[in-house]
Amino acid sequence: MTSPADRPTLFVLFGGQSAEHDVSCVTAKHVLNAIRSEQYSIVPVGISRSGVWSVAEVDSDAEALDPEGEPTDPYALIGAAENGIVLPLLHGPLGEDGTVQGLCELLDVPYVGAGVLGSALAMDKIAAKNALAAAGVPQSAWVGFNADEIDDTTAGTLLERLGSPVFVKPANMGSSVGVSRAETVEEVNAALAVAASYDEWIVVEEEIVGREIEISVLGNRHPRTSLPGEIVAGAEFYTYEDKYHDGTAKLLIPAPLDESEIADMSAMAIAAYRALRVEGLARADFFYDAAGRGWLVNELNTMPGFTPISMYPKMWDASGLSYPDLIDELIDLAVERHQRKRRNTAH
């Protein structure tokens, strides 16, 4: 067992200023329960909805961590640690989009997950789809635009181009927050208003009638994939309630696929991972279009949920990598990348 003096300090960041604040607080509680405390000196760091950082108290009986506490300076807190690693369990803007990752780069500390560019690309659905298209990765039909461009003809034009129904989404949000399924001009207009309340950039996608399958990716320069999992949505699509409140969706792990189908999906997931310059981890979400297009990448999530009912850790567990071992490997990958980047930037 590592002596307390030799243990690296693990700063677990949670909360944040996005609409996914509550999801992050729940995720952090479960991750802290799973971390091997004998290997690290753990410091939970909450970020309030207003952006105030504080060292958090851990209530063993609470369902989620409370990010409110005595304000602290992140530069003084994290930058002062001689052997520190950051585990950012932040979802959405100002956490998963390259901002906190940039802070870690300035502090010169290892951090779990994608770097600045990969985080920013994957967070912005329009930028991600453009990058995947440039890499030749198959996707569903979509249109992206700024909310300022919406006029009286937008909804009708979208339905003519993409068919009905469509999915309307904020470009920089996850966990199905702000996502609507719309069939008519009136519904599309309402959905655009909802999406615009979360982000000025909006993406609208065609509906794919097919299977919804996910696969977990893990690694830096040489990533690998887990067994896939299939989602049979309890509602019209895989909702926030299904993801975080044990809704009515069915999760089939492993997904009923043959070896060649899994191999094709795995190869496409890794191609998308590399196209978006992701390292550390991502959950790759796919649709399977049985009408002829086959596998279509929906998106890559660079900080997927880690609650007990979340797909990312469940798929790795089914693949033989336990929750605590997964966290250990993610931390090791963070250290490896930090050391590699230091070598590459040394003069």
* Phi-psi sector, 112: left (phi>0), alpha (psi -120 to 50), beta: beta
The whole-angstrom separation of Cα 231 and Cα 239 is: 11
The whole-angstrom separation of Cα 93 and Cα 74 is: 18
User: In this structure, is residue 337 part of a structural domain?
Assistant: no
User: In this structure, is residue 331 part of a structural domain?
Assistant: no
The whole-angstrom separation of Cα 303 and Cα 105 is: 18
Return the DSSP state at 208.
P
Tell me, yes or no, whether 308 and 249 share the same domain: yes
Higher pLDDT, 291 or 278: 278
Tell me, yes or no, whether 250 and 135 share the same domain: yes
The whole-angstrom separation of Cα 172 and Cα 124 is: 5
User: In this structure, is residue 346 part of a structural domain?
Assistant: no
Instruction: Report whether 71 contacts 54 (CB < 8 A).
Output: yes
Tell me, yes or no, whether 133 and 250 share the same domain: yes
User: In this structure, is residue 288 part of a structural domain?
Assistant: yes
Looking up tokens 């690290």 gives 40
User: In this structure, is residue 84 part of a structural domain?
Assistant: yes
Tell me, yes or no, whether 78 and 197 share the same domain: no
Amino acid, res. 133: A
Residue 37 is predicted with a pLDDT of 87
Q: What is the pLDDT of residues 268-280, one digit of tens each?
A: 999 999 999 999 9
Tell me, yes or no, whether 146 and 135 share the same domain: no
Domain containing 183 equals 142-206
**Any residues with CB less than 8 A from the CB of 156 and at least 6 apart, and which?**
185
**Any residues with CB less than 8 A from the CB of 325 and at least 6 apart, and which?**
none
Residue 102 is predicted with a pLDDT of 97
Q: How confident is the model at residue 2 (pLDDT cuts 50, 70, 90)?
A: low
Q: What residue spans of the chain are helical by DSSP H?
A: 21-34, 74-79, 99-107, 116-123, 125-134, 154-162, 185-196, 240-244, 259-275, 311-318, 323-345
The backbone torsions φ and ψ at residue 20, rounded to the nearest 5 degrees and listed phi first, read -95, 20
Tell me, yes or no, whether 165 and 284 share the same domain: no
The whole-angstrom separation of Cα 41 and Cα 217 is: 27
Please provide the size of the chain in residues. 347
Tell me, yes or no, whether 147 and 263 share the same domain: no
**Number of domains composing the chain:** 3
Tell me, yes or no, whether 257 and 133 share the same domain: yes
The backbone torsions φ and ψ at residue 156, rounded to the nearest 5 degrees and listed phi first, read -65, -40
User: In this structure, is residue 151 part of a structural domain?
Assistant: yes
Tell me, yes or no, whether 188 and 253 share the same domain: no
Among 206, 221, 248, the domain boundary falls at 206
Tell me, yes or no, whether 105 and 89 share the same domain: yes
Q: What is the pLDDT of residues 41-90, one digit of tens each?
A: 999 999 999 999 999 998 888 888 999 989 999 999 998 888 999 999 99
User: In this structure, is residue 161 part of a structural domain?
Assistant: yes
The whole-angstrom separation of Cα 147 and Cα 24 is: 27
Is 234's pLDDT higher than 70?
Answer: no
Start-to-end C-alpha separation, the chain: 37
Domain of residue 173, CATH code? 3.30.1490.20
Write out the two tokens for 58. Answer: 């851990």
Return the DSSP state at 111.
B
Tell me, yes or no, whether 213 and 316 share the same domain: yes
Residues of the chain above pLDDT 90, percent? 77
Domain of residue 58, CATH code? 3.40.50.20
Q: How confident is the model at residue 309 (pLDDT cuts 50, 70, 90)?
A: confident
User: Which 3 state secondary structure label does DSSP give 104?
Assistant: helix
Among 151, 175, 206, the domain boundary falls at 206
Query: How far from 149 is each of 77, 152, 204, CA to CA, in Å?
Result: 43, 10, 13
158 burial (CB, 10 Å; 0-12 / 13-18 / 19+) is buried
Instruction: Report whether 41 contacts 10 (CB < 8 A).
Output: yes
Is 242's pLDDT higher than 80?
Answer: no
Domain of residue 129, CATH code? 3.30.470.20
Among 167, 186, 206, the domain boundary falls at 206
**Mean pLDDT for all residues in the chain:** 91
Give the 3-state DSSP-derived string for 225-285, with helices as H, strands as E and coil as C: ECCCEEEECCCCCCCHHHHHCCCCCEEECCCCCCHHHHHHHHHHHHHHHHHCCCCEEEEEE
Looking up tokens 């067994």 gives 227
User: In this structure, is residue 333 part of a structural domain?
Assistant: no
Residue 236 is predicted with a pLDDT of 61
Tell me, yes or no, whether 216 and 244 share the same domain: yes
**Any residues with CB less than 8 A from the CB of 204 and at least 6 apart, and which?**
142, 143, 144, 158, 162, 166, 167, 168, 169, 188
